């Protein structure tokens, strides 16, 4: 039972206000979003910060659900679990997600995220418009790949990411987005 206390200490040390690990469904996603919203309402968070945090959370959770479907097709149930965390510090929110992805997606995601991180505010705005205009990156599931661009735009920060190989078919994709709690114009 000592692990419970160790987990609690880790959550307190990292200022984590919400952690969920497991299967992500539409219902679970709605619950996670509702819990985070209630937490921000309880502390009286500024509406513009709340909107940014909520937007990034939605994109992270949609990303997890999308890739979970792809992993299920491989039927490696022991690798399907994903994780979502949100931490609140004095000056920022830290939103972190992690989920398995197929290894054939790693290079494409690395390149896309590196490109997004290479752009400034105006470059992100133009890239977003370009993707919409030209349907660049339109996936079989209908997504245009705007989520990562939107996360970078809303946060105003570089997206932090990593890929940890699990086996020859799957890697664990970790994504961290920081949203400053200083109120700025969108």
Q: Which domains does the chain have, with CATH numbers?
A: 2-180 (3.30.565.10)
H or E segment and range at residue 173: strand 170-180
H or E segment and range at residue 108: helix 106-118
Edge-to-edge strand list for the sheet holding 92-102 = 16-22, 82-88, 92-102, 170-180, 160-165
pLDDT at 23: 83
pLDDT < 70 stretches in the chain? 67-80, 136-144, 183-186
The span from the CA of 138 to the CA of 104, in Å, is: 17
pLDDT at 76: 52
Using alpha carbons only, how large is the chain's radius of gyration in Å?
A: 17
pTM for the whole structure: 0.85
H or E segment and range at residue 69: helix 47-74
């Amino acid at each position: 039972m000592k692990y419970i206390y160790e987990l609690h200490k880790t959550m307190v040390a990292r200022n984590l206000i919400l952690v969920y690990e497991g299967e992500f469904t539409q219902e679970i996603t709605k619950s996670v979003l509702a819990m985070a919203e209630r937490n921000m309402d309880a502390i009286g968070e500024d509406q513009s910060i709340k909107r940014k945090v909520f937007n990034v959370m939605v994109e992270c959770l949609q990303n997890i659900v999308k890739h979970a479907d792809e992993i299920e097709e491989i039927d490696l149930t022991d690798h399907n679990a994903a994780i979502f965390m949100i931490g609140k510090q004095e000056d920022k929110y830290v939103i972190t997600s992690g989920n398995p992805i197929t290894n054939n997606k790693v290079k494409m995601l690395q390149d896309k995220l590196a490109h997004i991180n290479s752009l400034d505010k105006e470059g992100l705005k133009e890239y977003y418009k370009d993707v919409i205009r030209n349907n660049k990156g339109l996936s079989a599931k209908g997504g245009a790949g705007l989520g990562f661009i939107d996360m970078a735009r809303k946060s105003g920060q570089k997206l932090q990411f990593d890929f940890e190989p699990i086996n020859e078919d799957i890697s664990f994709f970790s994504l961290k987005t920081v949203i400053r709690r200083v109120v700025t114009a969108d």
